[in-house]
Structure 1
Amino acid sequence: MDSFGRRVPPTVKPTNYVAGLGRGAVGFTTRSDIGPAREAANTAPGGGLQGMQGPGAMPPPPPMPGMQGLGPGQHGPERTDYGQAPEGYVAGMGRGMGDKAIEQGETNPIKEKLARETADLNERNFDQFSGYGGSIFGDSTPYENDDAEADRVYEAVDERMDSRRKRAREAKLVETMKRFREERPKISDQFADLKRELKDVTREEWEGIPDIGDHSLRLKQKKRPDRLTPMTDSVLSSMAAGLDNTGHTGALDARQQKTGGFETPMSGARTPMGGWKTPMLGGGTTSVAGTSSSLTSGLAAARGTVLGLKLDKMSDSVAGQTVVDPQGYLTDLNSIKVNTASEVGDIKKARLLLKSVTTTNPKHAPGWIAAARVEEIAGKAIAARKLIQLGCEACPDAEDVWLEAARLQSSDANGRSVLQRAVTRLPTSTKLWLRAAELEPDANRKKAVLRRALELIPSSVKLWRVAVELEDVEDARILLGRAVECVPHSVDMWLALARLETYENARRVLNQAREAIPTEPAIWLTAAKLEEAHGHGADLVDRIVSKAVRSLASYQVVIDREAWLKEAESAEQAQAPLTCAAVVRHTIGLGVEVEDRKRTWLDDADACLARSSIATARAVYAHALSIYPNKKEIWKRACSLEKKFGSPQQLQETLKKAVECCPQAEVLWLMAAKEQWLAGDVDGARETLGDAFEANPDSEPVWLAAVKLEWENDERERARALLARARSTAPSARVWLKAALLERECEDFDAELQLLDEAITSYPSFHKFYLMAAQACESENKGSDKRLGDMKAARDFYQRGLKKCPKCAALWIGAAALEEKAFGATRARSVLELARSRNKGTPSLWLAAMRLERRHGHQKLAENLQAKALQECESSGELWADCISTAPRPARKGKSLEALKRCDNDARVIVAVANLFVSERKHNKARKWFARATALEPDLGDAWAHAYFFEVKDGTDQTRQDLVDRCVAAEPAHGELWTSVAKDPKNARLDVAQKLRLCAEKLKRAEDEEALA
């Protein structure tokens, strides 16, 4: 039927008709049509597979169009004679069915196994994303023409890329390999030239090469020696008695065996030893029953006796000298060095190596010396001497081998015999002759040896020097005369001869030496020292040194200024100051630029002082002052040098020259006047200050120095007159202050207040005037002025001062003290709070507030103030020192560490730490810290006071005196404790040492009060 349901009549099919071809339904072949590639399974009759017969068996499929004649039955017979398929055969591979077979799991298992075995499964070949690296297509993909073409293209690209910069790359590679082979050459390369020379070696030379032997260090099983252990005394005694381990006789003697054991060895009462005689070698007796006593004690006693005999025999030699000390025998044994196993092994290795050295190269002298020393270290002196003797025979021209052989000999006589053979072989060896002379027992034989040596080696300076040292003065002069003829180039010989000659002969010798060696400066300097030693003046010495410098320059001898300074210092050490000064004068300016001369010369003087070369430094300053006479800095240093190391006359002369050259330098005038005053020359000091007035009429320091001079000498009226003239001629705040202080010391308080009123009017911003006026009103001094002893007047002065000087902490502290004295702590606290608000970061105000609270028992409030103060002024040594001293004892060490971190260079903190060490009884540390504090800030009087108080308690008279001397030299002027003592009018006339003792007494009272509290 057609698509419309009509019945179509059957017709005959045309030729080559294929159903569905017209509408595009072309048939295709599948796997089910042609079956598997392997041998087909046996089919049962009826077309079904074997094992599937029966009604349910499927019939064979009909053939496809165009496939007639391929099937069984009507399609033709089926072929089954193809045989077994070859191994590795894949169906469809030949017609491009390989990939489809892979998809269907029909790959070759053999190739899969081979691929698994050859696959690179290293972790370096694994990627987390793509897995193990390798060929994408595997080994089963055929290599075709397009693959070959692609490989050729890639190879061409690679060759092109390699050709770029190929020459430079190859050159770099060659250079790298060359450098590598130079740094790490192969052994074959090192000996290549030597191997080429082997072709010239004859057969006799080959046969003459010694056999090196088997010196390898491979591990070998060494034959162990038999161990022989001595038997104990008990075993020996048992064997001697014929006993077994139980103490009974285990064997019959001959008579017992002869009679069968029934006859006893004793015939009646007779013992085998002829009675009851004890055996001589036994340690006991044998009883009738056969038992034996122990022979241990006998053997031990015998050994002790033998040892005693040996010690007695060794205790004294023929000469009567003790060889073995019985008391120190064990100590001597402990002193014997026993080599360890490792040292023994090292010695054996060294012995083998050095044996190889001496065998392969017997002419190498150091090898023989090293081998002998190895044996010496190993304690085999005889073997060492034998080895070095072989070395002397193998290397007879090596002086070191002969010297080593002489050293290894057991006695000096043997050493002399060795050296006799050595000098016979090497008659021109200086070392051998010197060693031979050393081994001679007396001086005459030494001289004989040295003279024989000088006959053979007249040009040896060492031999001449040693020979001269052995002679007396006359013979040495004769010998040196011959020495300078044989060795005219030796400067030491010429100088030694000049020292031994008289003055005239010495001058002649030095002239000859200068002609022989014109380039040696030591000869010229020796001539200058010679002239100075014989009393000739500085002019002749100066001419000699000047001529020396010119002569050496003409011979182009270059000697720098540092070397000349060393020569000057040598002249100073030789007690020749004129020569020293002449050398400095003519050589100090060599190689120094004009603009750098002053700085360089001052540095040279400092360096000379550091080396304790005082005369050289003095000469440097003198030359510098001759070039720069108006430089007061150089004059100050020169005066300081004379004050410290010179005499008073030299100091006065230097100061006189200084004020003449620098009349405007006030400090030089003051130094001159002070030195004259200290020397007791008051009139001279007045005269010097008078000259200073003429040169500096308006100089405040000069006026004040004149006032102090009269003041210290109790000339108060003259001092008052000088101050009056100074106030009119050179008025200043310090002049008014000194005038007020003078009136206070004279106890004229009315005049003091009057002067202070005038001074405040003239200098309203000088805070010390207000302090002195307030203190005068606050005290109980009597006078006609009503303000004396009036608190209101004192408060008025403080208020006026705070208006003019609001930043002055001393005024605030004084005002607070006045309020505390008059009205109590409340008013004083208010004043200090106001002061801290207007003066931020002022440690003294915080310290005054804390002490105020402590005085009134407010310890907690004081601690709070201390914490705030350390926050605001964290680097204040004054506050940290107070914190350490007031902290509880367990917390002081921690506070000290923190304070040293904050301000480790503050003298107050260092003093507090030193006091902490004092409290812990660590006196050595405390003394070091006190010394550090005084060196760090010598102007701080409190540090000196605490150090002196410590020395008073725990020091000696010497340490106390040293501290006082250093304090006097430092002249301290600051410090809370120090100023409280020094500013007291009662102590105005005291010196530094007396003030120091008063400070120590004040510290003692404070310590006692604290102990009572």
Structure 2
Amino acid sequence: MASRRDFLSQPAPENYVAGLGRGATGFTTRSDLGPAREGPSEDQIKAAVAKRSAQLGLTESKDDDNEDENRYQDPDNEVGLFSGGIYEKDDEEADRIWQEVDERMAKRRQKQRSVISYSLPLHVHLHRHRLPRPFHSPPAQTSGLSVEIDEPSTDQHYSHREAREKADREEYERQNPKIQQQFAGLKRALETVTDEEWANLPDPKDLTGRTKRARQARMERFYAVPDSVLAAARDAGQFGTTVADDGTATEGNKDGTVTDFAKIGAARDKVLRARLEQESHSSGTATSGSASTIDPKGYLTSLSNMQGADQNIGDIEQFRKMLKSAVDSNPKQAASWIAAARLETHAGKPVAARNLISKGCQHCPKSEDIWLENIHLNDNRNGKIIAAQAIQANPQSVKLWVEAMKLENDPRSKKKVIRRALDHNPESEALWKEAVNLEEDAEDARMLLAKATDLIPASLDLWLALARIETPQNARKVLNKAVKKLPSSHELWIAAARLEEQLGEGLKRPVMQNAVKFLAKQNAMPKREEWIAAAEKCEEEGAIITCNNIIEATLGWGLDEDDDRKEMWMDDAKGSINRGKIATARAIYAYALRVFVNSKSIFLAAIDLERNYGTQDDLWRTLEKAVVACPHHEVFWLMLAKEKVGDTDEARRVLARAFNQNPNNEDIWLAAVKLEADAGQNEQARNLLLTARESAPTDRVWIRSVAFERQLGDNEEALNLVIKALDIFPQAAKLWMMKGQIYEDLGMLPQAREAYSTGVRQVPSSVPMWLLYSRLEERAGNVVKARSVLDRARQAVPKSPELWTELIRVERRAKNVNQAKSLMAKALQEMPKSGLLWAERIMNLEPRTQRKTLLAEAIKKVDDDPILLVTAARILWAERKLDRAQNWFEKALLLDRDMGDTWAWYYKFLLQHGKEEKQKELVQKCVLNDPRHGEEWTKVAKDPKNAGLGTEEILKRVATSQLT
């Protein structure tokens, strides 16, 4: 040990990092790692294991019993536990150090055993006996000391130690036998167990608790809950308090009893309810026949409201303590006193509240809020006294004077109080207003207002009030004087304009033009939105001329030609319409049309406004302005002629004027034909069509001519016309369809088939013609041919929901349901967002139980589609969910008002479940929107037999006969 180097001179251990224990982080480089090399070989590992075993003094045992014993080795003893590990340099160093420690400890024990005796010669050594009694003979009777001649050798010392350790180990094994020894007898008894008994042994259970199932079982165990826990849970939500002898609430009485007011109240309510019910039954069964006047539920409810039973008493007590602390800490704060008084009022203690607020008034005499609260908490008589005290402390408080005035009962006393208030506050606008309101004589009120305006010239309300009660001549003077005092107020100018309107001079005097100039000089010109709001207010109060003058004078102020004035003004008009201010919107459109004289969009918006909100004369007047300003827009002429339909002669004059402005216009020609046809003038209509074919030979004119002859029942003439038209317009799909339909009406199916076949070759993109062709073959009983036609159509128009739906319907009508479902799957793969396909699948291909599920899936995939929304409404209708079905119908109408089938389904729904007023309203809206599309709608509207039917008749016919 002495030859060992000192600590600082020793080499550092392997893998040592300086400062790592104090938080430093080391790093290694490629040079530290060295070149890559393989791990130790198997022979090296065996050699290291043998070397470790030799150093520890162990011998490898090949006995099976010893292997079993090592299997149950104590974990604290590492012998055999890490014997299979790699024996490295640091392990060798550690073993060497421990060996040195063991040798040094052995030498120390040897020195301790050798104790020099009491100066005896001949090397007599006396020492205390250190070994346990069981291993040595009894000591000599020399005061607990033993005498030994000659010092024992080292070998003897080790033999004693080994003997002692062996005895200790045997004693420990005897007291703590191994599991193998404990079950040795039982294992020998297992020799008598037969094979049948072994087979009947139950499977062992996992008692370790390490599996997931065992942990879950432990979590799901239930234990008996003590009564104390249940009692604590029961009392947790209750309010318990004690009542002392003096009647005050304390935590506990002297005798330990506790009064539970919650239980007492519940018991009281229960007994009272039982008595009331008993009284009600007894009164109801009386022979006198008199009914009971007691309502148990209502009576208990009234008691609850009177006593504030819903208020938590504990919360009130807590708030009371908090407010008392706030008042005590800062008695000069009026808000704390007011809150404390209101709390007592809410708790049903008005006397305590009045006492608190009185104390608060003493501490905060300059607070008008606390005086007002005190007045409100007292009756009228005491309130007057308190008001007098409050005014004496705060003579400048307007609120206190007004409250004192309200406490008086007769008008004379009120006036007296207000006049005294004005003596103290002559420049209070609120007091002057109260004084004027109390005056019944207009002359006295005028005098008061004159005095008030002299004292308070900056009050706009007083000037306006004075102008209203003055005569018109004096009112002008008052307003002129007010404008000098308040030069930046535009309200005075609006009041002046309204005054001129009342005098009948609203259209003559340019008050608002002068106002704009004056306010612009004063840099006090309001924004356009403020002027529009002022105009709407004038409209609301009935000053329409002033409203128009405001818009005319201010709408274009501050806007340049570069600004998008047209869109801006149209947005302003739409905003006014949404707020219900039609006169303001009309004035905005009128001003915009003066700036944009030939604007078609503004005229259309103005016409729509008059059609929805105006009178018939207003609509005619606006249309007349439109045809004059835009004579070459035939839409205005057609609108005007349509509005004059009731007067045929006037409508003819309108169309004649339209012909002069727009010669050879096909829309005007067709409108004239419709007018004559509706009037029953068939020959006149035929002549007009003949002239139109010569003057304006368009395909629409020829189509209308053929349709007119079909309506009259002259199929031969219609056929001649359509043949001539096809020579001129071979690409007109409607002409080919009309030719085929005429042949069908004549019963000439081969010719009709030829017409459709030629038509689809000429116009392969016409979906309606393909549908007519397929339906002709299906009606003829040739389903295979119909299927072939639709296959060709799908090649010509690949992604057409109508063609796919018709093909699926053909298969369904032919009882090929599986084929129809297969086609539907393919169609939805190509067009997953087609509402028509989804509706067909939901209503006709799937069972009723799956409709709602499919509908939810369809709504997720398909954007807003009116056909799908109508399908949802029909499903809800079938389930008797009428309100929701009505909502879905209205959603479909909002989405597309031109779909006639939606109107028809909704009308059919209302016929069964709607009121008559709702039905009439729907019919009016349908006529106004005039729908033109829809599968069932067009079947009725395009039928020549239904020529001349209006929108209302078509709606009713579709709803009653077509829809199933």
The answer on 1:580 being equivalent to 2:544 is: no
Equivalent of 1:553, from 500, 510, 520? 520
1:273-330, CA deviations, whole angstroms, 9 ceiling, x for partnerless residues? xxxxxxxxxxxxxxxxxxxxxxxxxxx9xxx9xxxxxxxxxxxxxxxxxxx9999775
Q: Which moved more, 1:332-341 or 1:945-954?
A: 332-341
The answer on 1:225 being equivalent to 2:196 is: no
- In structure 1, the residue matched to 2:304 is 334
Q: Secondary structure at the match of 1:840?
A: coil
Q: Which moved more, 1:722-731 or 1:423-432?
A: 722-731
Alpha-carbon distance between aligned partners in 1 of 2:389 and 2:709, rounded to the nearest angstrom = 100
Alpha-carbon distance between aligned partners in 2 of 1:898 and 1:973, rounded to the nearest angstrom = 30
- In structure 1, the residue matched to 2:797 is 839
The answer on 1:346 being equivalent to 2:314 is: no
Report how far residue 103 of structure 1 moved.
Answer: 12
Instruction: Count residues with an aligned counterpart.
Output: 702
- In structure 2, the residue matched to 1:813 is 771
Given residue 557 of structure 2, which amino acid in structure 1 is its aligned partner?
A: L
1:477–1:501 CA contact under 8 A, matched in 2: yes
Instruction: Report the CA distance shift for 1:391/1:230 in structure 2 as closer, same or farther (over 3 A).
Output: closer
1:668-696, CA deviations, whole angstroms, 9 ceiling, x for partnerless residues? 1111111112xx22112111111111111
- In structure 1, the residue matched to 2:400 is 432
1:925-952, CA deviations, whole angstroms, 9 ceiling, x for partnerless residues? 1111111111211111000111111111
Percent same amino acid at aligned positions? 40
Alpha-carbon distance between aligned partners in 2 of 1:430 and 1:823, rounded to the nearest angstrom = 97
The answer on 1:563 being equivalent to 2:533 is: no
Report how far residue 644 of structure 1 moved.
Answer: 2.1
The answer on 1:613 being equivalent to 2:581 is: yes
Report how far residue 92 of structure 1 moved.
Answer: 5.9
- In structure 2, the residue matched to 1:355 is 327
The answer on 1:888 being equivalent to 2:860 is: no
The answer on 1:589 being equivalent to 2:556 is: yes
Equivalent of 1:1000, from 946, 953, 959? 959
1:468–1:480 CA contact under 8 A, matched in 2: yes
Instruction: Report the CA distance shift for 1:655/1:230 in structure 2 as closer, same or farther (over 3 A).
Output: closer
Instruction: Report the CA distance shift for 1:796/1:432 in structure 2 as closer, same or farther (over 3 A).
Output: same
The answer on 1:526 being equivalent to 2:495 is: yes
Equivalent of 2:912, from 933, 941, 953? 953
- In structure 1, the residue matched to 2:371 is 402
1:324-377, CA deviations, whole angstroms, 9 ceiling, x for partnerless residues? 99997755543323554641453254135313432xxx4433344344445545
Instruction: Report the CA distance shift for 1:554/1:343 in structure 2 as closer, same or farther (over 3 A).
Output: same
Instruction: Report the CA distance shift for 1:371/1:354 in structure 2 as closer, same or farther (over 3 A).
Output: farther
Alpha-carbon distance between aligned partners in 2 of 1:749 and 1:662, rounded to the nearest angstrom = 41
Alpha-carbon distance between aligned partners in 2 of 1:126 and 1:552, rounded to the nearest angstrom = 79
Alpha-carbon distance between aligned partners in 1 of 2:883 and 2:446, rounded to the nearest angstrom = 57
- In structure 2, the residue matched to 1:766 is 732
Q: Secondary structure at the match of 2:571?
A: helix
Instruction: Report the CA distance shift for 1:447/1:983 in structure 2 as closer, same or farther (over 3 A).
Output: same
Report how far residue 718 of structure 1 moved.
Answer: 1.6
Alpha-carbon distance between aligned partners in 2 of 1:375 and 1:620, rounded to the nearest angstrom = 59
Report how far residue 814 of structure 1 moved.
Answer: 1.5
From the two aligned structures, give the one with the greater helix fraction: 2
1:545–1:586 CA contact under 8 A, matched in 2: yes
- In structure 1, the residue matched to 2:566 is 598
Alpha-carbon distance between aligned partners in 2 of 1:392 and 1:103, rounded to the nearest angstrom = 87
1:904–1:910 CA contact under 8 A, matched in 2: no
Alpha-carbon distance between aligned partners in 1 of 2:12 and 2:367, rounded to the nearest angstrom = 92
- In structure 1, the residue matched to 2:928 is 969
- In structure 2, the residue matched to 1:795 is 753
Alpha-carbon distance between aligned partners in 1 of 2:10 and 2:606, rounded to the nearest angstrom = 114
1:351–1:374 CA contact under 8 A, matched in 2: no
The answer on 1:457 being equivalent to 2:416 is: no
**TM-score normalised by the chain length of structure 2:** 0.69
Q: Secondary structure at the match of 2:553?
A: helix
1:560–1:590 CA contact under 8 A, matched in 2: no
Given residue 971 of structure 1, which amino acid in structure 2 is its aligned partner?
A: D
1:568–1:579 CA contact under 8 A, matched in 2: yes
Instruction: Report the CA distance shift for 1:928/1:451 in structure 2 as closer, same or farther (over 3 A).
Output: same
Report how far residue 824 of structure 1 moved.
Answer: 2.3
Equivalent residues in 2 for 1:125-524, closer than 5 Å: 224-227=252-255, 330-335=300-305, 336-337=307-308, 340=312, 342-344=314-316, 346-358=318-330, 362-377=331-346, 379-409=348-378, 411-474=379-442, 475-524=444-493
- In structure 2, the residue matched to 1:746 is 712
Equivalent residues in 2 for 1:915-926, closer than 5 Å: 915-926=874-885
Instruction: Report the CA distance shift for 1:355/1:727 in structure 2 as closer, same or farther (over 3 A).
Output: same
Equivalent of 1:637, from 596, 602, 605? 605
Equivalent of 1:827, from 768, 779, 785? 785
- In structure 2, the residue matched to 1:858 is 816
- In structure 2, the residue matched to 1:988 is 947
1:92–1:98 CA contact under 8 A, matched in 2: no
1:870-910, CA deviations, whole angstroms, 9 ceiling, x for partnerless residues? 22221111111111211311011011112211224110111
Q: Secondary structure at the match of 1:539?
A: coil
Equivalent of 2:672, from 701, 706, 727? 706
Equivalent of 2:621, from 648, 653, 661? 653
Alpha-carbon distance between aligned partners in 1 of 2:349 and 2:389, rounded to the nearest angstrom = 24
Alpha-carbon distance between aligned partners in 1 of 2:12 and 2:899, rounded to the nearest angstrom = 103
Given residue 322 of structure 2, which amino acid in structure 1 is its aligned partner?
A: A
Given residue 722 of structure 2, which amino acid in structure 1 is its aligned partner?
A: L
Alpha-carbon distance between aligned partners in 2 of 1:911 and 1:564, rounded to the nearest angstrom = 45
Alpha-carbon distance between aligned partners in 1 of 2:673 and 2:624, rounded to the nearest angstrom = 22
Instruction: Report the CA distance shift for 1:921/1:102 in structure 2 as closer, same or farther (over 3 A).
Output: closer
- In structure 2, the residue matched to 1:664 is 632
CA RMSD of aligned residues (A): 3.0
Alpha-carbon distance between aligned partners in 2 of 1:823 and 1:329, rounded to the nearest angstrom = 79
Instruction: Report the CA distance shift for 1:101/1:670 in structure 2 as closer, same or farther (over 3 A).
Output: closer
1:473–1:500 CA contact under 8 A, matched in 2: no
Instruction: Report the CA distance shift for 1:378/1:1001 in structure 2 as closer, same or farther (over 3 A).
Output: closer
1:392-429, CA deviations, whole angstroms, 9 ceiling, x for partnerless residues? 233322222222222333x1221211110111121111
Alpha-carbon distance between aligned partners in 1 of 2:12 and 2:561, rounded to the nearest angstrom = 102
Alpha-carbon distance between aligned partners in 2 of 1:223 and 1:498, rounded to the nearest angstrom = 70
Alpha-carbon distance between aligned partners in 2 of 1:326 and 1:584, rounded to the nearest angstrom = 64
Instruction: Report the CA distance shift for 1:817/1:329 in structure 2 as closer, same or farther (over 3 A).
Output: closer
Who wins on radius of gyration, i.e. which is larger? 1
Alpha-carbon distance between aligned partners in 1 of 2:588 and 2:939, rounded to the nearest angstrom = 45
User: What runs of 5+ residues in structure 1 fail to find an aligned partner?
Assistant: 1-89, 105-118, 131-221, 232-299, 305-323, 781-788, 1007-1013
Instruction: Report the CA distance shift for 1:442/1:884 in structure 2 as closer, same or farther (over 3 A).
Output: farther
Q: Secondary structure at the match of 1:538?
A: coil
1:2-58, CA deviations, whole angstroms, 9 ceiling, x for partnerless residues? xxxxxxxxxxxxxxxxxxxxxxxxxxxxxxxxxxxxxxxxxxxxxxxxxxxxxxxxx
2:497–2:506 CA contact under 8 A, matched in 1: no
Report how far residue 464 of structure 1 moved.
Answer: 1.7
Instruction: Report the CA distance shift for 1:500/1:98 in structure 2 as closer, same or farther (over 3 A).
Output: closer
Q: Which moved more, 1:992-1001 or 1:481-490?
A: 481-490
- In structure 2, the residue matched to 1:80 is none
Alpha-carbon distance between aligned partners in 2 of 1:348 and 1:611, rounded to the nearest angstrom = 50
The answer on 1:675 being equivalent to 2:637 is: no
The answer on 1:932 being equivalent to 2:891 is: yes
Instruction: Report the CA distance shift for 1:402/1:964 in structure 2 as closer, same or farther (over 3 A).
Output: same
Alpha-carbon distance between aligned partners in 2 of 1:351 and 1:842, rounded to the nearest angstrom = 77
Alpha-carbon distance between aligned partners in 2 of 1:383 and 1:872, rounded to the nearest angstrom = 81
**TM-score normalised by the chain length of structure 1:** 0.66
Instruction: Report the CA distance shift for 1:329/1:956 in structure 2 as closer, same or farther (over 3 A).
Output: closer
Instruction: Report the CA distance shift for 1:416/1:326 in structure 2 as closer, same or farther (over 3 A).
Output: farther
